[in-house]
Structure 1
Amino acid sequence: MESDKRNVFVVGLNDTNRQRLERLRGAESCRFHGVIEPAAVYNTEVFDIAAMLAEATAQLEAFDGNVDAIAGYMDFPVSTMLPILCERFGTRSPSLSSLLKCEHKYWSRMVQREVIPQHIPNFTAFDPFDDDALTRIGEAGLYFPFFVKPIKSSGSRLGFRIDTPEDFYQAIEHLRADIGLIADPFNTVLEHARLPEEIEAVDGHFCMAEEIIGGWQCTVEGYVHDGEVVSYGIVDSLRYPQVLSFFHYRYPSGLPDPVQAKMLELTDTVMRHIGFDHSAFNIEYFWDEAQDRIWLLEINTRISQSHCDLFEKVDGISNQQVTIDLALGQSPDMPHRQGRYAVAGKFFHRVFFTDAVVTRVPDAAAIKALEKAFPGTVIALQVEAGQRLSTLPEQDSYSFALAYIWMGATSVEQLLDNYDRLVTQLDFAFDDIEG
């Protein structure tokens, strides 16, 4: 009966993800409801957290029925809002403090250093509005080259490799201009938490400087259910040659088995220490093959939405299964290697301009024809004709993503060959090209 269905509320639910959710195991016993319009959390850089929390609370209070679960699968601001909403309505989620021990990058590094110090880089926090910041970074034992990023960032935005003082001061200009877009709403979240004194002094306007780490990058997808840490897949993150921009994500990982096993051990250690529970997470790692050393890059308190299609193609169901099952308080019913393809990838079709105006994009018929020619392929354009690239939100500091392309194949070689053949048929054009 319809009245027996459990009501699952998803922050920023859009049509694509509703379709994925309705394909999950047990979906027939759920009704999925959106909370906050997708436009408020997608394709924007302005987040009024207080207003969004008030809006979500009003929507949930006005619902005529049980609120059985509140879930999300997005990064900031959704991930940081969920514990606050779930506490208000008595649904399952991690504690806000355990979530912030993952998402507040300085606090996270401090906690990681307590249990896996040999697997994290040297780091320090600094105030980008401090004119002596570079001197203070040096006093903390960090020297060129190093990497800087905000205490709370989204994607690779406002992350910079620093090789010279000139690089640092250029990065500082960008950080001072734009850091408030995330820092101000993140500080709203911090006001809801009890923070240790040394963490309270490092608010959302601060940045991190870290020793350069690198190697083969990957992401461990996992969850914690009633204190048990479970890792169910490792996705490789492969970059374009000589730049920091991602080329594609690939699943399953091609890392050696002993390296994968060590990453799972580290994951178990750090997530137990943090006290994170009742939720999905993913942890990004590097494997430095030359030194045979594993580095923990960062912890995210959600599934990676970019990986949903990859798990569906290879394992048979989106890893949103984990998000929904945990929000309902049940052990995730996640299959393994029951999908149509042996390997899958999400590709980022990019241009490496400083800026430009898009004058032509592939039309709907061309996209449909390509998806038909390469079965299992999904193409999502990220630009439209007339758009200036610099207006795109959530871009890294070196390129612009024109399209996301998900593909499946029987082998890595076939996957890469199919992508190379497809991308030559995507018809984009530009004007006013800079850089």
Structure 2
Amino acid sequence: MTKNVFVVGMNELNAARLKRLRGVEDVTFHPLLTSAEVSDTQIFDIPDMLRRAEETLDAFDGSIDAIVGYIDFPVSTMLPLLCKKYGVRNASLESLLKCEHKYWSRKVMAEVIPDHVPNFTAFDPFDDEALSKIGEAGLRFPFFVKPIKSSGSRLGFRIDSPEDFAYATEAFRAEINEISEPFNYVLNQANLPDDVKAVEGHYCMAERVIGGRQCTVEGYVHDGEVVPYGVVDSIRYPQVLSFFYYLYPSTLPPRIQEQMAEITKKVMKHIGYDNAGFNIEYYWDEVQNQIWLLEINTRIAQSHCDLFEMVDGVSHQQVTVDLGLGRKPDMPQGEGPETVAAEFFYRVFFNDATVARAPSRAEVEVAAEQVEGTRITSYVSKGSKLSELPEQDAYSYAVASVWMGAQKQSKLLWNYEQVMKRLNYEFTDIVE
């Protein structure tokens, strides 16, 4: 019989990826809310999103066999609510929040892997005494601040001085309610410990600065078994916090990857997360030979889908769909056409600017044709303001992404340079 899988925020690109998965000959994928409604927006009215999703599901004349997604907030936090209501598999809301509520997550991590967790504290950005309270918690400059719930690298700042903290606080106060209010709605649906309940959605985290070589461990939990299946390196631009590219497979030493896998199994089992995919961001400080756990994300990384398909032969959305249907994921390794693959981010380092020129669709297609298998997504158009782009970090704007594979890393970097020579962006009204 045909299995019906509803995909929250499915777009054309991901619809095509899903059809290339293994074992989906008897699966029909249905969109549930549009990508524009849940991803390409800064307005997250979760009660209304849930209502509209439920109307679609209630009107469906057939079996509802799985409800899945691959997008961060708000989709990740909506899935447990929808899955529970319609009796399909997913992680519990409380186990998901133990990952996504950054304060609760750090507390849970510290219970089982204290040596891999930096000193941290929560603070209220609307409290004029917040900086002194952070100091009382034992944190000194430099430290890092971020919302207790965010998506991507949005509103994350390194703090080296009181002036930096004042700048970050101003940004928090101006923008944090866009996520804090809908996140509070989700928190109110969960059974929270009193100390976590007190740290509401508008709170932020301060943490000791950690660093080193950054990577992401992709994994899943199936019937209590934690399975890490791939490690992706996160390479930054020199001297800044913005990502330059994601590289798969990782170039970290095998022993370090094995240690990260063991840490991953320990923390995810302790959290009680089950029957869903996840990824965990880590740092390896080579000098101190220290592994730090940065954060846990309750979804596969959409940016890594093409990397796994190029190297392993199938997008790791395989994990999402198989788990949703109650299957142990059929995730291959090394069966793709390439040995290495990357997503490159073409960025500009302005505070703001207007796009005076962006490459046409035809120009993007010509650029992609320079290297077989390359895919390019341009995020801007002529006349658009960079500050209007969603999901950007605090230091730059990603105006395009380039996915490509090769037989070795050096060739990958050379190929990227050839492709980018064909893409011409121009900007006016630049705010340095």
Q: Shorter-chain-normalised TM-score: which range? A: over 0.9
In structure 2, what is the equivalent of residue 132 of structure 1? Answer: 129
Q: Distance in 1 between matches of 2:252 and 2:343?
A: 18
Q: Is residue 353 of structure 2 the alignment partner of residue 332 of structure 1?
A: no
- Write out per-residue CA displacement over residues 140-196 of structure 1, whole angstroms, 9 at most, x where no aligned residue: 000100000000011000000000000001110000000000100000100110100
Please state whether the residue corresponding to 2:104 is helix, strand or coil.
helix
From 314, 319, 326, give the equivalent of 2:316: 319
Give aligned-pair identity as a percent. 62
Structure 1 SS opposite 2:192: coil
Matches of 2:307 and 2:279, distance apart in 1: 15
Distance in 2 (CA, whole Å) between partners of 1:85 and 1:145 is 41
Secondary structure, aligned partner of 1:27: coil
Instruction: Supply the distance in 2 between the matched residues of 1:368 and 1:393 (Cα, whole angstroms).
Output: 24
Match status 1:256 vs 2:253: yes
Could you tell me which runs of 5 or more consecutive residues in structure 1 were left unpaired when the two chains were aligned.
none
Q: Which amino acid aligns with 1:336?
A: Q
Q: Deviations over 1:114-146 (max 9, x none)?
A: 000000100000000000000100000001000
Counterparts of 1:211-360 in structure 2, within 5 Å, are 211-360=208-357
User: Which letter maps to 1:64?
Assistant: D
For 1:373 and 1:158, the matched residues in 2 are separated by 36
Corresponding residue for residue 40 of structure 1: 37
Report the Cα distance in structure 2 between the residues aligned to 1:67 and 1:211, rounded to whole angstroms: 45
Among 66, 84, 100, the residue aligned to 2:97: 100
Paired residue for 2:157? Answer: 160
> Which residue number corresponds to residue 422 of structure 2?
425
**1:265 to partner: Cα distance:** 0.3
- 1:24-44 C-alpha deviation (Å, 9 max, x unpaired): 001211000011121111221
Pairing partner for 1:170 from 152, 167, 172:
167
Residue 432 of structure 1: how far off its partner (Å): 1.0
Mapped partners of 2:13, 2:199: distance in 1: 38
> Tell me, what secondary structure is at the counterpart of 1:28?
coil
The whole-number CA distance in structure 2 between the counterparts of 1:123 and 1:364 is 46
- Report the counterpart of residue 27 of structure 2 in structure 1: 30
Contact 2:368 2:419 in 1 (8 A): no
Letter in 1 for 2:235: L
Unaligned runs of 5+ residues in structure 2 are none
Q: What code does the residue aligned with 2:36 have?
A: A
Task: Report the aligned-residue RMSD.
Answer: 0.6
Tell me, yes or no, if the aligned pair for 2:121 and 2:206 is still in contact at 8 Å: yes
Deviations 1:16-62 (A, max 9, x none): 00000000001211000011121111221110001101111111011
Per the TM alignment, residue 423 of structure 1 is displaced from its structure 2 partner at its CA by 1.3
Within 2, Cα distance between the matches of 1:422 and 1:8? Answer: 36
User: Which string of whole-angstrom CA distances, capped at 9 and with x for unpartnered residues, describes residues 360-390 of structure 1?
Assistant: 1111111111212210100000100010111
Counterpart secondary structure, 2:277: strand
Total equivalences in the alignment: 432
The residue identity in structure 1 corresponding to 2:364 is: I
- Measure, in 1, the Cα distance between the counterparts of 2:355 and 2:17: 31
TM-score by length of 1: 0.99
Q: 2:373 aligns with which of 372, 376, 381?
A: 376
Residue deviations 1:261-320, cap 9 Å, x none?
Answer: 000000000000000000000000000000000000000010000000000000000000
Q: State the shift of 1:402 in Å.
A: 0.9
What amino acid maps onto 2:153 in structure 1?
S
- Hey, what's the Cα distance between the residues in 2 that align with 1:345 and 1:38? 24
Q: How far, CA to CA, are the matches of 2:167 and 2:360 in structure 1?
A: 38
Q: 3-state DSSP class of the match of 1:309?
A: helix
SS, match of residue 373 in structure 1? coil
Supply the AA of the counterpart residue of 1:310: L
The corresponding residue for 1:150 is 147
Calculate the TM-score normalised by the size of structure 2: 0.99
CA contact (8 A) 2:8 2:33 kept: yes
Q: Does 1:199 align with 2:196?
A: yes
Counterparts of 2:373 and 2:389, CA distance in 1: 27
Distance 1:394 1:278 in 2: 27
- Alpha-carbon contact 2:311-2:336 (below 8 Å) kept: yes
Distance 1:354 1:225 in 2: 44
Which of 34, 49, 56 aligns to 1:59? It is: 56
Q: Which amino acid aligns with 1:365?
A: A
| Structure 1 residue 424: Cα displacement | 2.2
Select 1:117's aligned residue among 114, 117, 123. Answer: 114
Q: Distance in 1 between matches of 2:16 and 2:419?
A: 25
2:417 partner letter = D
Pick aligned residue for 2:176 from 166, 170, 179:
179
Q: Distance in 1 between matches of 2:271 and 2:361?
A: 47
